[in-house]
């Protein structure tokens, strides 16, 4: 059975290398497909380069979307990584 979860996050800092790396590390332990959306653009939470290419700055709202058996936990972990890394 598959589930889906979405969490909006207001970024405390720009989505540059350090927070992108934290997101990739958080996403690595989950089986769900996880993406981060900024406006019309989206990127896999498993690719730091793609995350940085979203161009999301401090104060921007992004949406973490996960689909799979552990989607809720995956979305929460990625959202937490976005909120705590600077």
Catalytic center residues: 16
Positive or negative CA dihedral for 67, 70, 72, 78?
A: negative
Asked if residues 71 and 36 have their Cβ atoms less than 8 Å apart, the reply is no
Q: How far apart are CA 61 and CA 59, in angstroms?
A: 7
């Amino acid at each position: 059975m598959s589930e889906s979860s979405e969490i909006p996050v207001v970024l405390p800092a720009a989505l540059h290398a350090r927070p992108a790396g934290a997101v990739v590390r958080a996403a690595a332990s989950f089986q769900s497909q996880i993406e981060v959306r900024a406006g019309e653009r989206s990127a896999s939470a498993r690719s730091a380069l793609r995350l940085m290419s979203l161009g999301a700055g401090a104060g921007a709202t992004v949406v973490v979307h996960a689909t799979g058996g552990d989607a809720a936990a995956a979305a929460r972990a990625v959202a937490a990584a976005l909120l705590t890394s600077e």
